[in-house]
Structure 1
Amino acid sequence: MPLFDVYPLYNVTPVSGVDMHVYDEKEVEYLDLYGGHAVISIGHSHPSYVKAITNQVSKLGFYSNAIQNPLQVELADKIESLSGCKGYELFLCNSGAEANENALKLASFKTGKSRVVAFKNGFHGRTSAAVAATDNPNIIAPINAQQKVTILPLNDVEGVKKELEKGDVCAVILEFIQGVGGLDQGTAEFFEQVDALCKANNTYLIADEVQSGYGRSGKFFAFQYYNVTPEVISIAKGMGNGFPIGGILIHPNIEAKYGMLGTTFGGNHLACAAGVAVLNTIEEENLIANVNEISEYFISVAKTIPQIKNIKGRGLMIGLEFDFEVGELRKKLIYEYHIFTGGASNKRLIRILPPLTIKKSHVDQFFKALNEVLKTVEK
């Protein structure tokens, strides 16, 4: 049976990975500066992570949410401790799209409203309401388009005010650093005024931290650079280091009700074991401090390269923007220099989303290769 052909694939077949590197079937080593869409947070096959999953699956891999699962409580407590989001409550699911779906559903339940405000170049997932709130008509089917969503430009405070005062908006969903859209950010004034407008209009502020969370921005969450208090925070990608897990953090003012949200696989024993191992490693190896140190070094080197016209993002969520489309450049990096990087809807942008364990030597390796590739592009 053929696979349904919806992904354009590079001719690379990784079969193993260790920390910052993956290896193909011919044992060729690739430097991973993309982390599989920012999923690999503590490095490929981290020994503590492998041990935690192995030990758990040897005892109990799964049972339903109808029973007590102390691993869920351990994970929730660890997130609260490391994130500083005191008093929030955790609902676990399986992916970023599912996290945002539940966030939007919760906002609609609690406010009694149904319209959503989202932003240009935003990406929130591929499921029903999440994809409707995504600024990409090519991936929104007619069944998704039934959702009521208004998409505004970033930094349009007056536009947000106008829409919220109509009284039918349940949620404003935004990325504090846009991912797929190309690493754009709003201003501090914009984010803080949107938060205030939400509070004044019985509207939930949903912080989509699916890609920017778990230390990638240089803080545990990217919204923590600003004076805002989201009602709901969605998390996923770096949460399980490759094991499927997602969740939402829910403000303590929001009361739970039996049956309001639910999931079969969310918060299963294996996923929680993976999640706890990731947080333990982030803490024990001081990886958020490493994010900030390496980010500063990376940006300082990037500034010396004249072909880079703009540096976007924060932490280890970095975009390098050129004055030409970078598709061929990225192919050369993969096939000739064995370095994975990421693309974006902005075709002139390279996204850098490495494991948080990256070292300066890896940055040097990348920029040496990039400079060589840029010579061939110029020719």
Structure 2
Amino acid sequence: MSGLFPTYNRFNLSVQSAEGTAVQGEDGKTYLDFGSGIGVCNLGHRHPQVMAAVEEQLQQYWHVSNLYHQPIQQEVAQWLTDHSKLERVFFCNSGAEANEAAIKLARKATGKSKIISFHQSFHGRTFGSMAATGQEKIHAGFGPMLESFEYAIYNDLKSVVSCVDHHTAAIMIELVQGEGGVIPAEQAFITAIEKLCQENDLLLIIDEVQTGIGRTGTKFAFQQYDVSPDIITLAKGLGNGFPVGAMLAKEQLAEAFGPGSHGTTFGGNPLAMAAAKAVLQHVFQADFLEEVNVKGKYLKACLEEKLGQHYQVRGQGLMIGIVSDADISSMVPELMTKGLLVLSAGPHVIRLLPPLTVSTDEIDIAIQLLTEVLLQQTALTVQK
């Protein structure tokens, strides 16, 4: 009997070690990891540059609290502000915490309480971020949600406009809905959302927890949409496995988050900052991001060629969804038995989040296994 709460439906895999794109199980089998710890290990497992940075910091200090200046926090903040054009950073430990900070900042800075988010969105499982999440299954069993959230229809401007009133503080959106099915936002929709925010004095919050740090082929996904968010949130790929999150905001919002307004014991931990600094130094190189784009286009094109007759393929960069008419719950474990680790994004979407360092040879292997399993499933469905 396990001493753990049964909060996860775990697969029958016990991990012994991992390196790069390979995961070694205690069963002696090697798996190709196209989940990256749910989009976390963007540089692959045990990346040498990240490991060296953390080991160096280990020899200096592990924790002293945010009551003291820590130069490494300033260094990572500078990397983030320089490359995002947002001026202020709050460090925390996860995407949910980053979104909680964004919600608090939006309400305090505007003096308004209502935030518009979207059906099928996912922003976390803490009470505020859970309320921001537009999925009933996330809310079920927890009683009344935090008030003043309203859910619009994704990629439907009229739906958003109908939600705006004089209580509205902000619109909170993912540019690719991850847990909701790997659904990219339409350019015209995001352009109109930004204009709507400007016309109604609303803050635009972009949740980049899964899409940020190179995942979609640019440093941040919002840079592909030519918008200027007031707040963005980050986590996952920022630390390459070290727990770290961040909320970035425009300078004019800094005053609302003065001393005592928000805090965290472990946020900005120096070990996490060392990992984040190494990640940013690597990922934010132009040639690295160009490789991500090339590999993302290759993966998507090959999947469309092999599976397009029966499945829809969508996404950006190395964030890809394969959409099935049938339930995919049996396909994910079947792929694992063949040595490929993938994720689901709802009952009908297989989600691929390989490390950004994945090789073309590894992509080819994954395509072969995906084609084998998915076309077999299609044949079985036709027979029925």
Q: TM-score, normalised by structure 2?
A: 0.93
1-side partners of 2:294 and 2:110: how far apart?
A: 42
SS at match of 1:158: helix
Task: Tell me the distance in 1 between the aligned counterparts of 2:74 and 2:248.
Answer: 13
Name 2:14's counterpart in structure 1. 13
Distance 1:315 1:375 in 2: 24
Structure 2 CA distance for aligned equivalents of residues 132 and 31 of structure 1: 35
Q: Percent identity?
A: 36
Answering whether residue 325 of structure 2 is matched by residue 311 of structure 1, we say no
For 1:298 and 1:272, locate their aligned partners in 2 and report how far apart those are by CA, in whole Å: 32
CA contact (8 A) 1:93 1:247 kept: yes
Please, which runs of 5 or more residues in structure 2 have no aligned partner? none
Once the two structures are overlaid, the 10-residue window that deviates more, 261-270 or 195-204, is 195-204
Q: Which amino acid aligns with 1:64?
A: S
Please name the residue that 2:253 is paired with: 254
- Residues 219 and 284, structure 2, Cα contact 8 Å, conserved in 1: no
Residue 197 (structure 1) shift: 1.4
CA distance in 1, matches of 2:261, 2:127: 17
Q: Which amino acid aligns with 2:371?
A: N
Deviation (angstroms), 1:222: 1.1
Deviation at 1:80, TM superposition (A): 2.9
Cα drift, residue 376 of structure 1: 3.5
Q: Secondary structure at the match of 2:198?
A: helix
Match of 1:324 among 303, 323, 326: 326
Q: Is the partner of 2:351 in helix, strand or coil?
A: strand
AA partner of residue 51 (structure 1)? A
Tell me the equivalent position of 1:277. 278
Whole-Å Cα distance in 2 between the matches of residues 87 and 129 of structure 1?
A: 24
SS of 1:247 mapped into structure 2: strand
Query: Aligned letter for 2:51?
Result: V
Residue type of the alignment partner of 1:52: A
Alpha carbon RMSD of aligned pairs, Å? 1.6
Q: Secondary structure at the match of 1:318?
A: strand
Distance 1:163 1:373 in 2: 43
Residue aligning to 2:45:
44
3-state DSSP of counterpart to 1:126: coil
- CA distance, structure 1, for counterparts of residue 144 and residue 23 of structure 2: 37
Match of 2:374 in 1: 374
Residues 1-379 of structure 1 correspond to what in structure 2 (within 5 A)?
A: 2-81=3-82, 83=83, 85-140=84-139, 141-142=141-142, 145-164=145-164, 166-256=165-255, 257-283=258-284, 286-306=287-307, 307-335=309-337, 337-345=338-346, 347-377=347-377, 378-379=379-380
The answer to whether the Cα contact below 8 Å between 2:152 and 2:163 also exists between their aligned partners in 1 is: no
User: Residues 108 and 143 from structure 1, CA distance in 2 versus in 1: closer, same or farther, beyond 3 angstroms?
Assistant: farther
Cα separation, 1, equivalents of 2:361 and 2:87: 39
SS of the aligned residue for 1:253 comes to: helix
Cα 1:87–1:325 shift into 2, 3 Å: closer
The aligned amino acid for 2:202 is T
